[in-house]
Amino acid sequence: MGLFDKIKEKLSNEFIDIVEWLDYTDDTICHRFERYQNEIKNNAKLIVREGQTAVFVNEGQLADVFKPGTYTLNTQNLPILTTLKGWKYGFDSPFKAEVYFVNTHLFTDEKWGTKNPITLHDERFGLVEIRAFGTYAFRISDAGKFIVDIVGTDNNFTNFEINEHLKSLIATRFTDTVGEANLPIELYAANTSELSETCKEVMQPEFQSVGISLEKFFIENVSMPEDLKKEIFEYSRIDKLDLDKLTKFKTAKAIEAAATNEGGTAGAGMGMGMGFVLAQQMGGMMSPQMGGQQMPPQQQAAVPPPVPQAVQYFYAVNGTQAGPVSFEQLSALFANRTVNRDSLIWKQGMSGWTPLKDVEELKAFLGGSTPPPLPGA
């Protein structure tokens, strides 16, 4: 064998006859197959494994794309590259082309979150701020588009490099979606599943435009300031309660508290109210018999008639009518400042609503009243 034959054989052995990529990482999305001077031998074998796509690029132009399988690289299997190279009658010499292997398996458990609070307008609470975070999963659906638009000439492209771009895209589209949803603020945290599906549909076209398919999108948590959360809880409880029952319950508690206060206006009003109640109870318990014996007619005639029905008062709080309540209940409400001297009061027989301070029998609540002079003084 001559010297030139040995040199030719040596060069021939340097040309690649098997083109493949074994991925030993979990984060590589695209890997450029490296070999001497980008030269590939004619009829070389191309092995594309499951979860991969092979893309040929000629001088910056996208050429042939291969799905999983084993191929013999010649003019029949490289129609686009053959056109770009101008191979009319085939070729016998090695050819130059860049080969990129794209990982098409599912990339899962990728994190996203809002870097800054999202400001929303709620009809009840005004401007409020929320934050959100969650996970998503994606895969490469169009390897050629992904290489042209995202990878470029990067020889080893990882999901870390694309995640920053995707997280910014997600945060922007999430903000637009929740802003247009116009939901009551408490429903964002209660409807994360429905909101996740809506966001996924909105974001999918953006992902597809660069050859990526958004497979899953989850909102794991929507948070808000603690003071706003407390207001929402209180509002929710009040909205579910019977306001009339709530008023009566609070009145009963106020009466109980006022009964322990022996001094002051509230104590005086409570004493009067308890006296009325006691008189009613005693009147109902009295009967013509006493001690098992018939009462004498003169004693029967001396029995007083039943105490008249206690007066019932209505009152206004924050422009809302409440009541009716008894005298002692109104006294307790005055004591705990639910009503004050200027609160509007109405009872049967009054022509209209009147401030408490102008209702004669209620002036005792105000204290400092001066009794009239004694007779004959």
> Is position 180 within any domain?
yes
The residue among 371 and 41 whose pLDDT is bigger is 41
Same domain, 98 and 114: no
Of the spans 52-66, 207-221, 273-287, which averages the highest pLDDT?
Answer: 207-221
> Is position 47 within any domain?
yes
**Cβ-contact 91, 75 below 8 angstroms:** yes
Of the spans 5-9, 164-168, 265-269, 277-281, which averages the highest pLDDT?
Answer: 164-168
Same domain, 116 and 211: yes
Same domain, 41 and 76: yes
Of the spans 80-84, 163-167, 270-274, 330-334, which averages the highest pLDDT?
Answer: 163-167
Q: Among 4-8, 113-117, 226-230, where is mean pLDDT lowest?
A: 4-8
Average pLDDT, the chain: 76
Same domain, 126 and 71: no
Same domain, 92 and 141: no
Same domain, 52 and 88: yes
Query: Residue 269: which domain range?
Result: 243-276+310-366
CATH number at residue 206: 3.30.479.30
Q: State the Cα–Cα distance between residues 234 and 243, nearest whole angstrom.
A: 14
> Is position 345 within any domain?
yes
**Residue 71 CA, distance from chain mean position:** 51
What mean pLDDT do residues 167-187 have? 83
Is residue 280 scored above 70 in pLDDT?
A: no
Same domain, 76 and 145: no
- Residues 171-202: b if buried by 16+ CB within 10 A, e if exposed: bebbbebbeeeeeebbebbeebeebbebbbeb
> What is the separation, in whole angstroms, between the first and last Cα of the chain?
153
Amino acid at position 101, single letter: F
Q: State the Cα–Cα distance between residues 44 and 41, nearest whole angstrom.
A: 5
Same domain, 337 and 247: yes
Look up the pTM and report it: 0.54
**Confidence band for 58, pLDDT divided at 50, 70 and 90:** confident
**Boundary-marking domain end, from 41, 72, 103:** 103
Q: State the Cα–Cα distance between residues 323 and 34, nearest whole angstrom.
A: 87
Is residue 25 scored above 60 in pLDDT?
A: yes
Domains in the chain, number: 3
pLDDT at 68: 93
Same domain, 82 and 112: no
Is residue 315 scored above 80 in pLDDT?
A: yes
Q: How far, in Å, are 68, 291, 365 from residue 144 at the CA level?
A: 15, 108, 86
The alpha-helical segments, DSSP class H, found in the chain are 3-14, 79-85, 143-146, 159-181, 185-190, 192-208, 226-240, 243-259, 264-285, 297-302, 327-335
Is residue 136 scored above 90 in pLDDT?
A: yes
**Boundary-marking domain end, from 103, 134, 149:** 103
**Boundary-marking domain end, from 103, 138, 159:** 103
Q: State the Cα–Cα distance between residues 336 and 297, nearest whole angstrom.
A: 49
The residue among 149 and 275 whose pLDDT is bigger is 149
Q: State the Cα–Cα distance between residues 312 and 153, nearest whole angstrom.
A: 87
> Is position 222 within any domain?
yes
Same domain, 258 and 315: yes
Is residue 212 scored above 70 in pLDDT?
A: yes
pLDDT at 272: 47
Is residue 215 scored above 90 in pLDDT?
A: yes
Q: Among 26-30, 206-210, 267-271, 367-371, where is mean pLDDT lowest?
A: 267-271
The residue among 274 and 21 whose pLDDT is bigger is 21
Decide: helix, strand or coil at residue 365.
Answer: helix
pLDDT at 207: 93
> Is position 201 within any domain?
yes
Residue 290 has phi, psi (to 5 degrees) of -145, 120
Say which residues have a Cβ less than 8 Å from residue 321's Cβ, sequence separation at least 6: 314, 315
What mean pLDDT do residues 75-101 have? 71
Same domain, 91 and 182: no
Same domain, 333 and 249: yes
> Is position 294 within any domain?
no
Q: How far, in Å, are 152, 255, 309, 328 from residue 280 at the CA level?
A: 94, 18, 9, 14
